Amino acid sequence: EANGELQKNQHVTVGYVGTETNGAALPAATSPALTASVRYVVGFCPDAGQQGYELAARRAAMMAAWESPATNSDGLPLITTAQVPLTLPAQAVRPTGATIKAALLDGLEPWLVSGGRLVVERGRNTSNASDEELWDTSYIRQFGFYRRDLRSSGQTTFAGSFVKADGVIDQPNQVTTVAIEAWAIGKMFEWQKAGIYDGAELLKSAVKAEIDGSDRSRVNLVVPGSPVIPLHQLGIVAARSAPAL
């Protein structure tokens, strides 16, 4: 029920403590397949010291508590208290670099030991989209913010208004599609200032509002989404002369 009408923006987080090979089969084995969605996280922590659902609950709570939907999960610890310590997996069963890479490619989110804590190696949902930007857990949450903000702000801004097709405004409670487009562009710049939008100036020309052809009381508005993308990797080349990148 996260579609364009209901917009509940649900997310599901699962903790998996088995092998990478078996875990890799999970996202595609469900019906519907989790690989077709960006709203699922299957955390990978082989032979974890806790039940998988305990770790999943901590990861889900972490994302629910984000102050900003544009949050880079890389290296964030799974939080607990001194009264409920997290037992770390034994050194012998911790995944190798190759296994971690395979898990990420297979739609699993590795939860690993780093600095004596259990952390998220890299934010990763179960999507198998060719566009890897969609893989990060923050991507769909930024889209969810855009939808909620446009809906709630639009209801307040245009409450009691009348839409004029000819563009001539005679009363303060009248609006045109041009005015609605200007309002939407203003929201894009607000999001950019808040750090959850990229390229408002470049994309503002793509905002379009038009009166519905079959229902003149409805205005159809298109606003391009453009989430900020977390930095996951830094490719470094040290050379005597600058190589071609």
Model confidence pLDDT, tens digit, residues 162-171: 999 998 999 9
Report yes or no: 187 and 203 within 8 Å, Cβ to Cβ.
Answer: no
Distances 223 to 12, 68, 132, 204, 207 between C-alpha atoms, Å: 27, 20, 22, 8, 5
Report CA dihedral (191, 197, 200, 202) to the nearest 10 degrees. Answer: 180
Helix (H, G, I), strand (E, B) or coil at 144: helix
Q: What are phi and psi of 58, to 5 degrees?
A: -70, -40
Q: Which two tokens stand for residue 231?
A: 């930095």
DSSP conformation class of 210 = E
20 near 102, Cβ under 8 Å? Answer: yes
- pLDDT for residue 82: 86
- What are the φ/ψ torsions at residue 237 (nearest 5 degrees)? -125, 120
Q: What angle do CA 110, 226, 124 make, to 5 degrees?
A: 5
pLDDT of residue 138: 97
pTM over cut 0.75: yes
For the chain, residues with pLDDT lower than 70 are 245
Instruction: Report the pLDDT value the prediction gives residue 175, as an integer from 0 to 100.
Output: 97
- Count Cβ atoms below 10 Å from residue 51 Cβ, excluding itself: 11
Q: What pLDDT does residue 141 have? A: 95
* Interval 177-234: pLDDT, tens: 999 999 999 999 999 999 999 999 999 999 999 999 999 999 999 999 999 999 999 9
| Residue 245 confidence (pLDDT) | 67
| Per-residue model confidence (pLDDT) at position 104 | 97
